[in-house]
A and B are shown apart, each in its own frame.
Chain A
């Protein structure tokens, strides 16, 4: 399925890779990009999941994991799209600026249920740290998910499920 075909409100189940990062990692990423240096992760064709997992219990691929508030990171969205990300996943309504960015770059924003970290962790098969390990729960991770529940909250035409 192509990103451009997704419509606001559509429910899908996603299986594949996600790049997990949030506030501080994006801030650091921006500093690197602004200095003209090579980013430590390749975001081309990737989906960015705004999350910060809890500790991994022994013998499990990942600890409790779930979305954090996306709107806090609206200022970094344009950068993610420029670096090649095709979608973001988080929770909650986003700014007009974020909607405009989705429209301009033909990208989408998904929501996944918040406060359901135990259930979502069951859908994560693998996890590894990619960069910024010193940030702890705010490091950049790559996870592999199966049947991950998503709803298209902003589609590539800028349509949104949230009320104004």
Chain B
């Protein structure tokens, strides 16, 4: 049995760090940037670390991806543990509550930044892996799904991704991490595009064809020249990750999700 307090404490620490400490992969790239606002962008993560202030005022909605071993026993449903952890972190730290209860009618702030978004996947074994994204609204608004025709080729898929980033990329605080989900059903493709954002910039799809497509897209998206802050200097995307899944003969779902330049994410694992 994995103790709920053990899960909660580790998750809380990871969420605080994701909000306050610059992602080391990102830092490496920002340090080399010398365009407009570069002084403030660099100053930002020094200030946030020293003063325990969030890197961005949009401390997001937390999106969890839980991979739970089939032999793992828990004290309570994992969603309850995670929501409690989020509620505690956001109350204890100077983070913003950005979650509203009803999406359409009464957009009343829940005052806890919960509920978080929780996706659960059961896997083999005794381990529990929890990945998460601290997802800001600006980048989330760029999420898009297109049900392409099943005869669409690679070029058509590339065109769709490139057009989307070209038109909207500047709004989501570039350089962006681009996650692409191809296949499955509509909802599966969207989920895969989010999972792609939990990967390290250096990872590559295991299938060489998809890995090649990731590299090509990276190159072509950077050729757009949107740059840091959308101001034309520096790279446009850090990395492109594709996750794919079998699909129906009549469909080709393609989803695109992006993460902002801070790429606030984390991964915590437990053993039962």
Contact = CB atoms under 8 A, between A and B. Distances in A.
Interface of A: 11, 24, 51-57, 63-66, 68-69, 71-72, 91-93, 111, 113-122, 135-137, 149, 151, 161-163
Nearest to A150: B37
Given A55-B96, A115-B44, A117-B58, 6 more contacts: A63-B53, A64-B54, A66-B57, A91-B171, A115-B262, A119-B48
B141 interface: yes
B56 A64 contact: yes
B56 A66 contact: yes
Interface of B: 36-37, 40-41, 43-45, 47-48, 51, 53-59, 94-98, 107, 109, 111, 137-138, 141, 170-173, 225, 229-232, 260-262
Contacts, number: 138
Contacts of A52: 57-58, 96, 98
A111 B94 contact: no
- Helix, strand, loop or mixed for chain B's interface? loop
B31 to A, nearest CB: 15
Nearest to A149: B40
A115 B260 contact: yes
B37 A116 contact: yes
Contacts of A149: 37, 40
Contact of A92 (B55, B170, B232): B170
Given A54-B95, A57-B53, A114-B138, A120 B40 contact: yes
A116 B71 CA distance: 43
Contact of A51 (B37, B44, B51, B57): B57
Contacts of A64: 48, 53-57, 59, 94, 96
Contacts of B56: 64, 66, 114-117
A118 B93 CA distance: 13
A135 B260 CA distance: 25
A11 B35 CA distance: 12
Nearest to A56: B94
